[in-house]
Amino acid sequence: MIIFRTVSEVSDFVAREKERGASVGLVPTMGALHDGHISLVEKAVKENEVTVVSVFVNPTQFNNPNDLATYPRQEEEDFKLLSRAGVTAVFAPTVEEMYPGGPDAQPPHEFRLGTAAEVMEGKYRPGHFQGVAQVVSLLFRIVRPDRAYFGEKDFQQIAVIRNMVESEGIKVDIVACPIKRADDGLALSSRNALLNEQQRKAAPEIYAALKDSVDYSRSHSVRATHDNVVERINAVPGLEVEYFEIVDARTLQAIDEWEESPWVVGCITVYCGKVRLIDNIAYRLPG
Ligand code: PAF
């Protein structure tokens, strides 16, 4: 596995590989890798001749400086995991390498991300999706992947990236990969490493409430299902729901009636102490 630190090195490498006809898969990450990331990497390795994984904690997508400062970092451990998973190359640049004018310099432009970016994470983390679009579009221009892999835990992020790719005219297949969970149901996340023992014990209640609510939803309204989940999670000491929205999975706009969409997802963000955890569940799937 080759480790690249500069934009020119990784783009020259990819150019050579593309010249010989190799297909290129990209897995963008912020490091602190877990089995969820590794499942994306393994899929990329299976589907492409060359797999590049980026490891970069992108400052422009953090609206809370403390969140950026405490984001877990474990580069050496990440590199070992990626090498074991059969990755061809890692791109792990510095902030200066990615943003030569500094992360606070004006981004190239305001990305057109559609109404999907205005709700939920877009509402509670102002500027977050502009930062995600900025770094992901930059990575796409540097690595020029045929396919890029993202986890469905960040359900809204995938929709926003699809909108960005379309509005920027970037040719890449966005591959959405299922959520990986711990044995107790907690969605795997780099932020889980920040939970103390007590918080780690409380956190699985998020998925337990979501999972049970699928049954509940069969005989209850959207509003009742929503309230049931929020009340159950908020009743657990140490957990506090920031938002829970039951939405049309294609537009991400909230629905009032189950019949409004053939594909309905519930997206939740919960504070577990200071740690912000997200998860989602499907209530209705197309077909
Ligand atoms: O999902 C993430 O880890 C990040 O938002 C991403 C896509 C790597 C961009 O920094």
Ordered DSSP codes for 179-236: PPB-TTSPBP-GGGGG--HHHHHHTTHHHHHHHHHHHHHTTS-HHHHHHHHHHHHHTS
Beta-strand relationship, 173-177 and 239-248: unpaired
- Among protein residues, the one with the nearest Cα to ligand 1's atom 5 is 132
- Among protein residues, the one with the nearest Cα to ligand 1's atom 7 is 28
Structure tokens at 285: 């799937």
Q: Is 176 in a helix, a strand, or coil?
A: strand
- Among protein residues, the one with the nearest Cα to ligand 1's atom 8 is 29
Helix (H) or strand (E) holding 280: strand 275-284
For every one of its 287 residues, what pLDDT tens digit does the chain have, with 9 covering 90 and above?
999 999 999 999 999 999 999 999 999 999 999 999 999 999 999 999 999 999 999 999 999 999 999 999 999 999 999 999 999 999 999 999 999 999 988 887 899 999 999 999 999 999 999 999 999 999 999 999 999 999 999 999 999 999 999 999 999 999 999 999 999 999 999 999 999 999 999 999 999 999 999 999 999 999 999 999 999 999 999 999 999 999 999 999 999 999 999 999 999 999 999 999 999 999 999 98
**How far does the centroid of ligand 1 lie from the alpha carbon of residue 132, in Å?**
7
Structure tokens at 224: 């009742």
Question: What pTM does this model have?
Answer: 0.97
pLDDT for the residue numbered 219: 98
- Among protein residues, the one with the nearest Cα to ligand 1's atom 9 is 132
**How far does the centroid of ligand 1 lie from the alpha carbon of residue 87, in Å?**
18
Among 128, 165, 160, 167, which residue's Cα sits nearest to residue 144? 165
Could you list the active site residues?
A: 37
**How far does the centroid of ligand 1 lie from the alpha carbon of residue 31, in Å?**
9
pLDDT for the residue numbered 107: 80
- Residue 3: beta bridge partners? 90
**How far does the centroid of ligand 1 lie from the alpha carbon of residue 139, in Å?**
11
**How far does the centroid of ligand 1 lie from the alpha carbon of residue 26, in Å?**
12
The atom number, within ligand 1, closest to the CA of 136 reads 9
pLDDT for the residue numbered 236: 98
| Distance separating the N- and C-terminal Cα atoms of the chain | 41
Q: Is 30 in the pocket of ligand 1 (CB under 6 A)?
A: yes
Cβ 115 vs Cβ 17: under 8 Å: no
Beta-strand relationship, 89-91 and 50-55: parallel
**Site to substitute for ligand 1 among 57, 63, 78, 154, most atoms within 8 A of C-beta:** 154
Structure tokens at 83: 């090498």
pLDDT for the residue numbered 105: 87
Q: Is 132 in the pocket of ligand 1 (CB under 6 A)?
A: yes
The atom number, within ligand 1, closest to the CA of 151 reads 1
CA separation for the pair 159, 71 (Å, rounded): 24
